[in-house]
Structure 1
């Protein structure tokens, strides 16, 4: 939908956006695990996080393969889309597993819904190849990651404030 307006450089713009976007998603996943260490105490919490990070890795590899082949030949290698699909399959599995692991964390209620939304919307984007549905599902899955990040930041601030309240000396 958007990329044709960039002319010949559209493939490179897309690859760069994918690379930056999935690096940011990986940072959200890592930060949630760091701020909410209880997610790492369960097998599903660790597995979900790892599979989500593997999905991000596949997406970054896709962006590199897509961008490098587009830069070299003017067109991306279509085989690079196997990495794109693998990334979204990992996001589906990891998202569902991590969604279940987040249940005991009341501060992550909104982030939890967002993680499930990314899993479902990303898989719908892969299953439905016709436009505009593919693009709507794909962009919605990206937007859901933004919601996950924003809600996790809010939950982290709330938890930090509660901890600082507990640590204040009683006068």
Structure 2
């Protein structure tokens, strides 16, 4: 199944609430806004997790780290709502999975870029992975608005670029076994030209 529609829907589910909160602060500063945020986070990251799994065609370890990053973001969503309901506000500890998730996404993106940089056909995925990781890390490092929000939205939307690469679309059974994109399955993690 083509991962691009899932990347579009997932990234928009994540980006639109961040952008709307940056522009319209008041409507999201209540329980209904927090519930909407958690729902969009859970749905968006669940969809992007399925896209991250497809990256294994380029890099086994890169995909594992991207999946771990998405999983940490799902844990962040749950920690967010648990701390909100138990303490009346979002606790600082709830943001630890958020931080760990973006670190995993940055490292996983770096591994993916390094593994697939020599394969011309995977340039779109390579650029998308670089933007997902780089902008995600920038969002964690730069905590002040509007730069934090801009980096987050950019990282979320970059999943679309990653998923648009045609090498993530076909099933492994339809790709030639000795393809350079599947070289990592023969024991190594590097994609060979």
Which TM-score band (shorter chain)?
0.7 to 0.9
Q: Tell whether the 8 Å contact from 1:114 to 1:148 is kept in structure 2 after alignment.
A: yes
Matched length? 152
**Structure-1-length-normalised TM-score:** 0.78
**Structure with the larger RCO, 1 or 2 (CA within 8 Å, 6+ apart):** 2
Q: Which residue of 2 aligns with 1:27?
A: 50
Distance change (3 Å), C-alpha of 1:76 and 1:31: same
Q: Which residue of 2 aligns with 1:168?
A: none
1:108 and 2:122 are equivalent in the alignment: yes
Q: Which runs of 5+ in 2 are unaligned?
A: 1-18, 177-193
Higher-helix-fraction structure: 1
- Structure 1 counterpart SS, 2:165: helix
1:152 and 2:165 are equivalent in the alignment: yes
Instruction: Name the CA distance, whole Å, in 2 between partners of 1:18 and 1:97.
Output: 25
- Structure 1 counterpart SS, 2:72: helix
Q: Tell whether the 8 Å contact from 2:139 to 2:147 is kept in structure 1 after alignment.
A: yes
Instruction: Name the CA distance, whole Å, in 2 between partners of 1:162 and 1:98.
Output: 19
Q: 1:82 aligns with which of 78, 93, 96?
A: 96
Q: 1:98 aligns with which of 101, 112, 115?
A: 112
Q: Which runs of 5+ in 1 are unaligned?
A: 40-44, 164-171
Of residues 82-91 and 3-12 in structure 1, the stretch that sits farther from structure 2 once superposed is 3-12
- Structure 2 counterpart SS, 1:2: helix
CA apart distance, 1:18: 1.4
**Structure-2-length-normalised TM-score:** 0.70
CA apart distance, 1:140: 0.5
How do 1:55-74 residues align onto structure 2 when only pairs under 5 Å count?
55-74=69-88
CA shift digits 1:108-166 (9 cap, x unpaired): 211110100111100111111111010000110000012212x1357636xx9998xxx
**Between Structure 1 and Structure 2, whose CA radius of gyration is higher?**
1
